[in-house]
Structure 1
Amino acid sequence: MPHGYVKSTFELSNFNPSIEYKNEWLEAFIIVFGDKGLVALTYWMLSLFAEQIRAKYGMFPFLEATGEAGAGKSLLIEFLWLLVGRSSYEGINPTTSTRVGRARTLAQVSNLPVVFIEGDINDPSSGNNHKQKAFSPEELKPLFNGRSPRTKATKDHTNITDDMPFKGSVVISQNQKVSGSEAILSRLIYLHFDRSQHNAQSREAASYLARLSVEEVSGFLFYALKNEQLIMDIVDRTFQSNRDHIMALPDVKMERIGSTHGLMLSGLQALSEILPITDNTKQKVMNFIDQIAIERERDLISDHPALDQFWDVYEYFESLVQPNQPYSLNHSPNDSEIAISLGEFFPHAKLNHQALEDIKLIKKIIKTSVRHQFISVKTVRSPIASKSMRCYVFKK
């Protein structure tokens, strides 16, 4: 209709991209963040075409960035936001928001990242917060394929539901590595940042990046969007061969790892066409992507370090059991199973000076156990204690 207007009640705060493109920042960016930073930048650029990529390949990976304090993780995320015109912003903390709030945040944007910061859902000190206990990265799994983060009923008398699809990408930035099922871990591109490469040159470059304004760097958004056809053509042309390359790496067997890391290789090749990235630097980063693909596959066939420690302590105690000293921490009446009462196990470990992570963390991750596959939590009749006990039960 003539003189019609659309009024939106949604405001994307601090979002003001510039039209003029400048790339004086790239050299300093590589000095500060190196290969890992270029992988993160590749992911950020691909996020601008997340919907197009999902339409072709039925998926878009998540990015996980962890790092010790002072490693530069926050500076990286804030600078990546500057590139697309959003200043003074890093992300939302999922453990201080409700599930409804997280779902609304995820639905706010299309072809932009949604960043979850400092969730640290594995942090044992968070165990008493009901909102923190309510959040799990497992709830993000449907977003990989663009499905709705939350289905809700419409306010009427019909059986119609509202399940708006997810149209962006997901970045998880926190101190501790995400632990979870194979399904969630295989969806993640994992980067860990530390201070090992920090020096006087990198500190000077980091200071330079921190001083840059959104007006000076956010032309990258429109520059990338103007090159959409070139970027998507390169991704289309190289994705299958890059996926096959990842699948041919030693010990890589999971198809999803081939697809997600193959997409990152294609994205890097496209990024190198629109930014002045040297062939030598590009090859180094491609080799690094190969490495993190192999490490991700290994993560899927190994336990969280806290669980490894747990099973090492268990096996140490079992090695001490003698025929004339039948005390054992395994209460299963079945020879093919292990039944452990955590309420007994942790005090026994402390009494015998065996170090373990906090019991709250173990309870959160114990069902992902690889060394001994988790079966269930149930009551067993212990032949050792001659009574019924509530135990976590595993295959031997």
Structure 2
Amino acid sequence: MQNELQSAIRFDDFHAVFGSQGVVALAWWLGAQHVSQIRTEEQGFPFLYVTGRTGSGKTTLLSYLSTLNGSNSVTSYAPAHATPMGLARALSDAGEHPVVLEDGYGSDRRFDWSQLAPLYKSEPIWVITQGGHSQITFKGTLVISANPPIECSKQFVSRTVHIDLLAPHTVNSRYHAESLQQLTADQASVFSQFVQRQAAQTISTIQRLAPVYAASLYDKHPSQPNARATQIGGLLMALVDALSLTLNLSHEQRQEALGQIEHNVALADLSY
């Protein structure tokens, strides 16, 4: 069944374009399908933060992930251009689904990303509206797309999984990217259906392995001052294992993703 699922969602094309970064992003996306339960288990769930210059594949990556959830297009919001009430409505209407936010580069307005930091734990935030203040409780999670990187605090970045798309497309990767762009939501919807059927297995994998991985990262890198880095790293590594069970990843694909996560935790940098 896993090999059939790989074929249905064109995973080989996806891996050819995005490599181990794509595996980490897809593992995060798998976790986002169970965000409320994971957030309860882990006392938080990180945001996905995708950066890269024009043409690096940000749109292709986010479009692919959205297709897996049954959407043929990506709906995104630019907080720097949106009214506080508009942003509040987008978050409150999302349910437990990811919300894609784009940095308003070139805008005269600057958005204070730190005001969204409480959403890591689904804590309520306040926004200024015409009627005064409104409280928002957001049950989903955030995907942030930016070029160049957003201007924000280290505290906010520490709540993210940073996918930095640096490599330009080659002739070969363009061929695989075009294949991904032809994938329809109807074809890819089998992913979300399978993920929901495997929910208990995914949560069990996280419960068993996330604390083990986090403890191992802490033991290997005791000088790492950021406890959240090892916690998020442990969660991501467990999600890679859960994704491996879902898609039957090769040993090399799994090890490369796990190795990249550990490498970046060691550097105290959550860029994947």
TM superposition score normalised by structure 2: 0.89
Q: What corresponds to 1:248 in structure 2? A: 219
Which structure 1 segments of 5+ residues have no match? 1-20, 156-160, 300-396
Conservation of the 8 A alpha-carbon contact between 1:62 and 1:187: yes
Alignment partners' CA distance in 1, 2:117 and 2:103: 19
Conservation of the 8 A alpha-carbon contact between 2:85 and 2:128: no
Alignment partners' CA distance in 1, 2:23 and 2:270: 23
Q: What amino acid does structure 2 have at the position aligned with 1:66?
A: T
Conservation of the 8 A alpha-carbon contact between 2:160 and 2:270: no
Alignment partners' CA distance in 1, 2:92 and 2:219: 37
Q: Secondary structure at the match of 1:63?
A: strand
Q: Secondary structure at the match of 2:242?
A: helix
Alignment partners' CA distance in 1, 2:71 and 2:121: 26
**Residue 283 (structure 1) aligned with residue 255 (structure 2):** yes
Q: Secondary structure at the match of 1:115?
A: strand
Deviation at 1:246, TM superposition (A): 2.5
1:22-101 to 2 correspondences below 5 Å: 22-24=5-7, 25-101=10-86
Conservation of the 8 A alpha-carbon contact between 2:88 and 2:127: no
**Residue 220 (structure 1) aligned with residue 191 (structure 2):** yes
| Count of aligned pairs | 263
Alignment partners' CA distance in 2, 1:188 and 1:296: 12
Conservation of the 8 A alpha-carbon contact between 1:39 and 1:285: yes
1:1-396 to 2 correspondences below 5 Å: 22-24=5-7, 25-120=10-105, 125-126=106-107, 129=108, 132-133=109-110, 135-150=111-126, 163-196=135-168, 198-250=169-221, 251-297=223-269
Deviation at 1:150, TM superposition (A): 2.6
Which structure 2 segments of 5+ residues have no match? none
Identity %: 26
Deviation at 1:117, TM superposition (A): 1.8
Conservation of the 8 A alpha-carbon contact between 2:264 and 2:270: no
Conservation of the 8 A alpha-carbon contact between 1:107 and 1:166: yes
Conservation of the 8 A alpha-carbon contact between 2:161 and 2:270: no
Alignment partners' CA distance in 1, 2:120 and 2:152: 15
Conservation of the 8 A alpha-carbon contact between 1:64 and 1:190: yes
Alignment partners' CA distance in 2, 1:104 and 1:298: 30
Alignment partners' CA distance in 2, 1:34 and 1:60: 23
Q: What corresponds to 1:324 in structure 2? A: none
Q: Secondary structure at the match of 1:290?
A: helix
Deviation at 1:111, TM superposition (A): 2.9
**In structure 2, do the counterparts of structure 1 residues 274 and 214 end up closer, same or farther at CA, with 3 Å as the change threshold?**
same
| 1:240-269: CA deviation from partner (whole Å, max 9, x where unpaired) | 111112223444221111111211111111
Deviation at 1:112, TM superposition (A): 1.8
Alignment partners' CA distance in 2, 1:258 and 1:143: 19
| 1:36-89: CA deviation from partner (whole Å, max 9, x where unpaired) | 111111111101111001122211111111001111111100110000011122
Alignment partners' CA distance in 2, 1:89 and 1:151: 25
| Larger RCO, structures 1/2 (Cα 8 Å, 6+ apart) | 2
Deviation at 1:136, TM superposition (A): 1.3
Alignment partners' CA distance in 1, 2:193 and 2:93: 20
Structure with the higher helix share, 1 or 2: 2
Q: What amino acid does structure 2 have at the position aligned with 1:95?
A: A
Q: What amino acid does structure 2 have at the position aligned with 1:136?
A: D
Q: Secondary structure at the match of 1:172?
A: strand
TM superposition score normalised by structure 1: 0.62
Alignment partners' CA distance in 1, 2:128 and 2:103: 27
